[in-house]
Structure 1
Amino acid sequence: MDKKDLNGNENLENNGTTEEELNSSDNTNEVNEVEVLAAEEPVNTTKEESIPVMNKVGSNNNTTPPAPPVTPKGNKGWMIVSVVLAAALIIVLIKPPFQKDDSTAVASVNGTNITKEQLYDKLIEAGGESTLQAMITTELVDQEAKKANVTVTDEDINTELENLKAQLGGEDAFNAALQQSSMTVDDLKKQMPLQVKLRKILEPQVTITDQEIKDYYEANKATFNEEEQVRASHILVKTKEEADAILKQLKDGADFAELAKEKSSDTGSKANGGDLNFFKRGDMVAEFSDVAFKLKVGETSGAVKSDYGYHIIKVTDHKDAKNYTLEEKKDEIKKTLVSQKVSTLSTTWLSDTTAKAKITNSLTDAKKEATASPEPSASAEAGTESAK
């Protein structure tokens, strides 16, 4: 596990961005079914309590994660993953082609049958309208893509997935989002063509100027910079005597990772030989960071005391701080701005395209007709009485 897994309140923070759950709207309007939905709640994938020393300074299990700053990765672009993930789960429920008026029993309770027809009705109530609407919108997009000679290749799908990983903040955050939605990468790939088609249809209508890129860079300059980072492993024990004994074993040639697995009390890192992955100075308590950032790669510390015990720290890698220039980030910013504009444009485009299409929907049309039927007016009733 990396340092993020060690946080008691793990929220998959990446470059200042807090990972979020992917939720879909219950709105059955065809536009909203494929409209990009920004994730709203932090994803919590903590599986076991870990040593709190590795929590970020000032954080604890009861604090609310701070609002993410404006950052390229903070904007989810026009990704429709929230719809994709939620729709997939609903489709799984209603995929069997049950027929109305089918009295075949699918279950029984003390001799009383539950029929396929009853199950079908309940599934329609649970998500039938929204799922059917999503299918209608998918068909509409498919037709428009065919008109525009838009096709989807395996390379397109893979590119879209890589873009999604980058926008979520990395591989770990991506996998956590999938796990939260009970999906695999293959499940997601099956749902991605709609997104690719929309992007290919709309991107030719988007233009990004150099001034827009410059303005975005200036507004988000701080988020492009990378702080100095080190990668380290540690062994945490309760007493200095224990730490001194381990230091002697290391001096005599013992393997650091094996000793961490055997003796460290940090349940979050011991299984990985004490590895904490890369971290910034402010990610760890001061006593720990002050030593770790002074060590050279390959060096091991003495016993380092903190409120949580005694650490033996071994630095395994290092990254210098870096301030990125506009030129270095130009392509990334342009991609982000294109995604933002496609997101905005997609809502209008889908609304206009839907309005022009001839669409029937048996699940919603009857309701609309019933709502549209006018009640007899008081004056009309009065007129009828006079005629009598």
Structure 2
Amino acid sequence: MRKYEVLRAVVILQAVCMVVLTVVVVIKVWPGNDRPLEKQTQIDDGSEKAEGQQTVAKVGAATITAADLKGQLYKQYGDTVLRTMMVRKAIDLEAEASELSVSSEELDRELVKMIEGYDSENRYFEVMQEQLGMTKEQVLEDLRYKLLLEKIAIVSIKVSDEEVDKYISEHSEEFTSRLQLHLQWILTESEKEASSVLQLLTDGEDFSMLARTYSIDSFTADAGGDLGLIDADDPFYNRELLDTASRLQVAEMAGPIKVDGGFAVIRLLERQMTTTMTDRRLRDEVRKQLALERADSLTDLEDELLDKYGAVKTE
């Protein structure tokens, strides 16, 4: 699996709880209506309908009412959404009792990790909105609760300075600066096709447009062949492709390059060098990582918090 696909999967898994919450909002306000559906009791001819019986869609002679929609959404997502809401209430209570909170600085640092591989913070939020329907506010709220739960999980776990030093010494490669390449590519089935595409690019054709037209990589074609930021030594990518990309100047193209699945033409959009963390930041991050490895799973912790605060369904 290419790193681009891995990133997509991770994003979807991180956001699934917020997705179902977003879906449920549909039952409250239908596009084009200014008032909640359950409040709209008047129809065009002035007669009244029972609450929830307003028609929100038609298929031939059949109709779908607000009650139908609400019932189906509740059946599919009700338990998941309810658990998410209950867990967040329990987290709030535990955080208050333990005097724990998440600072804006902590939120910003975690966000930097999440947007790695994207052009910018704005692009990351655009992808979340386009692919998952999540607003920036929803992403940040989801992230805040994740960090708060982690703090609760490790609040009583002690990690010594010696353990932190040993980990840093044994995993020094994780903390060194590294080169990252922002690439576009067009993947074709044959070397001849790749050569033809490269000639079109040399003649002045737009790379993004040709990627949408000719690339057989379904994951990146619609995005103009954008692969995002890639570590120059990323093991998920073809070695020859990365070596070639490392030698390119910004905006320069190369190909055909034989890769898994065909032949590629690439263009370098930018190169970045990651910076190492300050000593204090590095030690804090390692300490947290080691503590989380010793802690119970976050799912188990959620269950414990629900039990602690007597969370029960009332219907």
Band of TM-score, shorter chain: 0.5 to 0.7
| Deviation per residue, 1:55-74 (Å, 9 max, x gap) | xxxxxxxxxxxxxxxxxxxx
| SS of 1:205 mapped into structure 2 | coil
> Does residue 1:12 correspond to 2:1, yes or no?
no
For CA contacts below 8 A with separation 6 or more, give which structure has more relative contact order: 1
1:92 maps to 25
> Does residue 1:127 correspond to 2:77, yes or no?
yes
| SS of 2:9 mapped into structure 1 | coil
Matches within 5 A, 1:289-304: none
Taking a change above 3 Å as real, the CA distance of residues 220 and 113 of structure 1, as seen in their structure-2 partners, is: same
Which residue of 352, 356, 362 maps to 2:304? 352
Which residue of 144, 151, 163 maps to 2:110? 163
Shift in Å at residue 148 of structure 1? 3.2
| Deviation per residue, 1:187-227 (Å, 9 max, x gap) | 32344443344344444323222344355446645555566
2:314 maps to 362
Which residue of 90, 93, 109 maps to 1:143? 93
Q: Are the counterparts in 2 of residues 229 and 279 from structure 1 also a CA contact under 8 Å?
A: yes
Shift in Å at residue 361 of structure 1? 1.3
State the alpha-carbon separation in 1 of the partners of residues 299 and 251 from structure 2. Answer: 55
Taking a change above 3 Å as real, the CA distance of residues 115 and 356 of structure 1, as seen in their structure-2 partners, is: same
Q: Are the counterparts in 2 of residues 93 and 123 from structure 1 also a CA contact under 8 Å?
A: no
**Which structure's CA Rg is the greater one?**
1
Amino acid at match of 2:138: D
Matches within 5 A, 1:183-332: 183-214=134-165, 216-217=167-168, 220-224=171-175, 238=196, 259=204, 261=206, 280=232, 286=240, 329-332=282-285
| SS of 1:166 mapped into structure 2 | helix
Amino acid at match of 1:195: K
Taking a change above 3 Å as real, the CA distance of residues 193 and 169 of structure 1, as seen in their structure-2 partners, is: closer
The answer for unaligned runs of 5 or more in structure 2 is 29-35, 40-48, 186-193
TM-score, normalised on structure 1? 0.48
Q: Are the counterparts in 2 of residues 106 and 113 from structure 1 also a CA contact under 8 Å?
A: no
| Deviation per residue, 1:143-198 (Å, 9 max, x gap) | 33333344566x26xx3254144156444595545543221322323444433443
CA RMSD of aligned residues (A): 5.6
Taking a change above 3 Å as real, the CA distance of residues 102 and 196 of structure 1, as seen in their structure-2 partners, is: farther
Amino acid at match of 1:12: Y
Amino acid at match of 2:290: L
Amino acid at match of 1:137: V
| SS of 1:143 mapped into structure 2 | helix
Which residue of 53, 59, 69 maps to 1:105? 53
The answer for unaligned runs of 5 or more in structure 1 is 1-8, 24-38, 40-80, 247-257, 364-388
Taking a change above 3 Å as real, the CA distance of residues 145 and 299 of structure 1, as seen in their structure-2 partners, is: closer
Taking a change above 3 Å as real, the CA distance of residues 228 and 150 of structure 1, as seen in their structure-2 partners, is: closer
Q: Are the counterparts in 2 of residues 165 and 174 from structure 1 also a CA contact under 8 Å?
A: no
Q: Are the counterparts in 1 of residues 179 and 271 from structure 2 also a CA contact under 8 Å?
A: no
TM-score, normalised on structure 2? 0.56
Q: Are the counterparts in 1 of residues 37 and 66 from structure 2 also a CA contact under 8 Å?
A: no
State the alpha-carbon separation in 1 of the partners of residues 134 and 16 from structure 2. Answer: 13
Taking a change above 3 Å as real, the CA distance of residues 94 and 192 of structure 1, as seen in their structure-2 partners, is: farther
